[in-house]
Structure 1
């Protein structure tokens, strides 16, 4: 039987094969010994010696073999030092990686300080210095010498560039380099050589627009996150030279009445659907569902300029009134868009479902199709609800009702599967013609949305199943179960509401759904939904399959959006290879890079999400800048030792209330209950509480707002007037008594 030390050594030395099954095999454990091993590993996790992620065990503070790094400095000998771009959720020191020098003449361009890179890392053999060494596999787009700032005309007639990021210096611009920029314009500038005295000089390259316009605000996020937004000339030339696909090697599906159902303002259409009753007598009440997806693989071939740029971008980025696409418009909005009435190449899956919603078979086809109609969600829903228009009227009985009948069948399968059902409404910003915020709305969640969502989920499952059966390597979309630490934190929180969460056995989405249904319609509904969401892991792309916890699926791969996600393009190529559908599939050399590609596109996805969120924050901050000192209804969306984050439901925007401004009581952070509780009163504020707040400060460039609490604290269930006073807490209290009158209290 292996000792603890032997187990820790094996897990450290084998980060890619440190699951329970691999450990059992390595030490020759069988039968009852495996139960002993499982108990011991759980005990070591509880003690903090191990952590589990995606069914793999690792030591806290360790890194996977392939990781995205940010190079932040150099060591005493001039070598590069880097840290993981995405810090772990757990507390503790972030591992430092020493980057090995690149060989001259190598394929990977040299990296420098400030670059984000994809690297293969190895535990360092030296006792002193960084814990890891790394070898750069790919350098993300390097930081250009173009910076973003706000053009300001000073009283003395000079011109300055106000930086939009703290790390940027203030710049001065000469008259001949202002390029028609006006006071308050957001501009792209190129720093010039600096003289011996005064501020650094700069040259205006482009006037982006007024700082209050959406285009300018999204441009800040694009630059801050270094999102590639200008296609190289070689990529545009390649796109323009592309020729429409022909019928050769494809099945002719142009007479099948497939339809696209999208938002009304959609510019590209990459999925079309069709449904009909199954004519097989052995499947009474069953349906046949067809999902056709734009065949991007026939235009974007491996190792071309188009392919390299698509991988560099990873995905399209969506802002309120602007899209940074993964592919040029010639591809995304023209050749690959499933336009109404025009022949387009597609990769289609035809799926058969039994009357209880179980998928009983599927097949993939490379086809030429012609969309019978371009419909919006609202338009299709209105027709089914009895309000057809000139376009949907002729399609109602032959196309739309069969789609809705099929959805009712698939919904039975979804209900039996019991995926995680969180109720968190999404908000959409509606802009005025000048790009500023008009209003924020919560679009209705229609059956039309749910229909397309469920059809796409089933198509993604079919893709993963087909590739697994063919033993074809692919990129999975995986979602791990909540970590033990997050489970325990959630368990403590639910206990404060007298709701229990089972120990020991692996949690399933249905257990979370039972909790959510228990609080439905109560004051705690929004709070519990938020806390359950925060307990979940983040979905990523991976070559190794661990299933999708949230959807409660054993295998899942993104297949349905190759126009805007590189992961889907990889899956398309893998299907073409596995099903022998053409010469433009996934090559062996591409298969060897799937681990690298998975790490890269997971990072670009997180980058896009952060940029989209920050743009919304800046837009709302600018929208509310003229309403300082007004009161708003809000909900507490986050609780920290430093204070409260509040969400304005009307706008979907966050702000912060420092703990020092909460009042006379001494507030203590109760992590288990996600609350700040007054030491003397036992009253306080908890995550999910509805409160009234006053806006006191807005920083539009940063997208931040500061509020003051108007609502009085409330007595929290289970609160006690007496709290354990640590020496540290008493010392802080003693120090606080020496502060000037009017200063707040912080913990």
Structure 2
């Protein structure tokens, strides 16, 4: 069995294994028991519907190329590898003659295969796509330094470069530039460099997000061919569409939204066989009408993967002519859409659904706060006429769907999202936590149901699609969570895979207690990361068997793929998925998952840089903070008012010898038994700020607190004497 799994990583589902070994009838039950025993013994582990050898790589993975072997073949390691997963496996990258090959320093998307024989790298890889180019340049800001100039890098740890006046090109002090290190410069003394590209002035309002855009290689300028194609697009015709222009669909979005890709409408079901039921319509902008497979706009949209949202700007996936005009479901204007009509009973159970390619006309554009105010008793001139005919039926339908959600028991984490508001000059004004209204929850639940309907329809038609999957937490993470919960007095029985309802039960036990924030944070960290894949692994967080993204094709390429799949499966027109696109779904899913992670990192780093710049003149000031991360080397703290992180080195914590307790997410003093835990509220003092890197160093002002019983790593008899104060232990005795 192990030999078969090693040789056939892409055929490791129970059905494929049974077929390969010729197992039928009762033998399939025996196979299920065997796989269960092998899982329990640690010989294999389950990933969705597949089984793999522990520590193995998925069939398609991102690799970082770092060296060559004696034969000149490229060597790589996976770009991401769990901290508790041991050493990452070595991969030998093979290239084909006549095709451009990657080099050392490149990141690639590759299909990997277990290597034959017991010597050398564990895997060989076939490159599917180069993700980014070798970073031969340093991104930074030009500063005046005497008679010369100096490049201050935006990434902490990058070397500063001395730039001679004749190596500046068109750059001047204060410009964000890319510079090439001079490899021929003298060996000793500061390295020198030459400006290769001027990106823009750091004095501009959008300078901070510009750093993240270029640091992460996010495409932000549309090629001429894409703009030309977008400008040439004409409004969609009625041909081949149902006329829904009299259906009073409305859009409900943030007040500052510039594009509107979803509209909703609900009405009580008149069918006497469905008493108390509702018919819910969700209409989504028909982007596939304008962005066809293989076109210039399509290639650029795939390259971007998704829109990226910064506090000061949006880097859109599609040109403005498409996203803000032809595809935006504007009020009182005809727009093409792909709609799903869903019928629910009084308990929120979906009875049936159907998809339609339509022409619609939005009856109104409302903000979340505006719609909520009308329901709460204060309608305005716009919402007043819609209150009884449109808004109340929507809320009544949501009340039914909420019952269904309650039975489904999705994971209910309480982690408020912060939003940074900027002044006109691009600096931070304030950070707010927007109120979570029923209007938000209503739209969210309607969109979830529409996404499920899309996945169900494509599965029923046996059509390939890209799922949005969220795998269950690994057994290792569940075990770590059990160890942690024990430190806060909560016991978690060992057993089979946990369900979302069990996590919700844990969260309910700590609601309103001192441990609420801590437990919410640790439960979040125990979860897997959601990704796109053509293999259905279900969505653990939403507690759904199948789920696909369908509702935001203006800003997510995954949704556009699902639209094309539906158009092809239902015979709605010629814009369906081609066979070539279907064959590349695995590669495409991996690429857009990468784009999503890239966007998240860029957005987070931009917030850190904005806040660091905002606080740069407040060195020595004291702040209320919350511990957001615990490591052997120190504590990460978040300033709740600003939503950005800083760091406190363990060596500055005081005169105790602090030990990292992984299970408790804590640093514990060896002598005192007191320490600091994840989510603790503390007071800190700002010591150092590096605005370009978005980094802040703090000093701890709050004394360490008592730790729960069982979190101390050393018995008093095993204390080390004469240890340097504040240093974390890295020796053998770190854990009991």
Query: Shorter-chain TM-score category?
Result: over 0.9
Matching residue of 1:302 = 293
Question: Which of residues 356, 359, 365 in structure 2 aligns to 1:365?
Answer: 356
Matching residue of 2:381 = 390
- 1:99 is displaced (CA, Å) by 1.9
Q: Is the 8 A contact 1:148 1:164 kept in 2?
A: yes
- 1:481 is displaced (CA, Å) by 0.7
Counterparts of 2:410 and 2:712 in 1: how far apart (Å)?
Answer: 41
1:354-503 to 2 correspondences below 5 Å = 354-503=345-494
TM-score (norm 1): 0.92
- 1:648 is displaced (CA, Å) by 1.5
- 1:139 is displaced (CA, Å) by 2.2
Distance 1:250 1:721, change over 3 A: closer
Counterparts of 1:465 and 1:96 in 2: how far apart (Å)?
Answer: 39
Counterparts of 1:305 and 1:85 in 2: how far apart (Å)?
Answer: 30
- 1:285 is displaced (CA, Å) by 0.7
Counterparts of 2:35 and 2:114 in 1: how far apart (Å)?
Answer: 26
Matching residue of 2:40 = 43
- 1:134 is displaced (CA, Å) by 1.5
Matching residue of 2:177 = 188
Matching residue of 1:88 = 82
Counterparts of 1:39 and 1:584 in 2: how far apart (Å)?
Answer: 44
Distance 1:206 1:514, change over 3 A: closer
Distance 1:195 1:495, change over 3 A: closer
Counterparts of 2:711 and 2:234 in 1: how far apart (Å)?
Answer: 73
Q: Is the 8 A contact 2:632 2:728 kept in 1?
A: no
Distance 1:172 1:382, change over 3 A: same
3-state secondary structure, aligned to 1:200: strand
Counterparts of 1:643 and 1:345 in 2: how far apart (Å)?
Answer: 54
Q: Compare 221-230 and 436-445 and name the one that shifted more.
A: 221-230
Counterparts of 1:127 and 1:222 in 2: how far apart (Å)?
Answer: 43
3-state secondary structure, aligned to 2:282: strand
Matching residue of 1:162 = 152
Matching residue of 2:64 = 70
Q: Is the 8 A contact 1:275 1:403 kept in 2?
A: yes
When the two structures are aligned, how many residues end up with a matched partner? 722
Counterparts of 1:512 and 1:51 in 2: how far apart (Å)?
Answer: 22
Give the gaps of 5 or more residues in structure 2.
731-736
Give the gaps of 5 or more residues in structure 1.
1-6
Q: Compare 137-146 and 562-571 and name the one that shifted more.
A: 137-146
Q: Is the 8 A contact 1:274 1:290 kept in 2?
A: yes
Q: Compare 57-66 and 139-148 and name the one that shifted more.
A: 139-148
List, as ranges, runs of 4+ consecutive aligned residues in structure 1 with deviation greater than 6 Å.
192-195
1:118 aligns with 2:109: yes
1:70-122 CA distance string (max 9 Å, x none): 23333444433322222235331112322212331x5xx43233332221122
Distance 1:333 1:350, change over 3 A: same
Q: Is the 8 A contact 2:661 2:713 kept in 1?
A: no
Distance 1:266 1:650, change over 3 A: same
1:177-213 CA distance string (max 9 Å, x none): 55473x3x24234649877668222255342432xx6
Matching residue of 1:663 = 654
- 1:33 is displaced (CA, Å) by 2.8
Distance 1:62 1:725, change over 3 A: farther
Question: Which of residues 6, 11, 15 in structure 2 aligns to 1:17?
Answer: 11
Counterparts of 2:422 and 2:350 in 1: how far apart (Å)?
Answer: 42
3-state secondary structure, aligned to 1:30: helix
3-state secondary structure, aligned to 1:657: strand
- 1:275 is displaced (CA, Å) by 0.9
Counterparts of 1:334 and 1:78 in 2: how far apart (Å)?
Answer: 52
Counterparts of 1:38 and 1:101 in 2: how far apart (Å)?
Answer: 36
- 1:215 is displaced (CA, Å) by 1.8
Matching residue of 1:237 = 228
Matching residue of 1:209 = 202
Distance 1:687 1:8, change over 3 A: same
1:508-561 CA distance string (max 9 Å, x none): 111111111111111111111011111111111111112111000111000001
Counterparts of 2:201 and 2:252 in 1: how far apart (Å)?
Answer: 34
Counterparts of 2:171 and 2:123 in 1: how far apart (Å)?
Answer: 50
Question: Which of residues 532, 546, 553 in structure 2 aligns to 1:541?
Answer: 532
- 1:43 is displaced (CA, Å) by 2.6
Question: Which of residues 544, 553, 566 in structure 1 aligns to 2:544?
Answer: 553
Matching residue of 1:3 = none
Counterparts of 1:313 and 1:148 in 2: how far apart (Å)?
Answer: 21
Counterparts of 2:649 and 2:178 in 1: how far apart (Å)?
Answer: 36
1:312-323 to 2 correspondences below 5 Å = 312-323=303-314
- 1:214 is displaced (CA, Å) by 5.8
Matching residue of 1:59 = 53
Counterparts of 2:233 and 2:103 in 1: how far apart (Å)?
Answer: 36
1:350 aligns with 2:341: yes
Counterparts of 1:348 and 1:79 in 2: how far apart (Å)?
Answer: 51
Superposition CA RMSD, Å:
2.4
- 1:128 is displaced (CA, Å) by 4.0
3-state secondary structure, aligned to 1:462: helix
Q: Compare 705-714 and 19-28 and name the one that shifted more.
A: 19-28
- 1:346 is displaced (CA, Å) by 0.6
- 1:159 is displaced (CA, Å) by 2.9
Q: Is the 8 A contact 1:186 1:216 kept in 2?
A: no
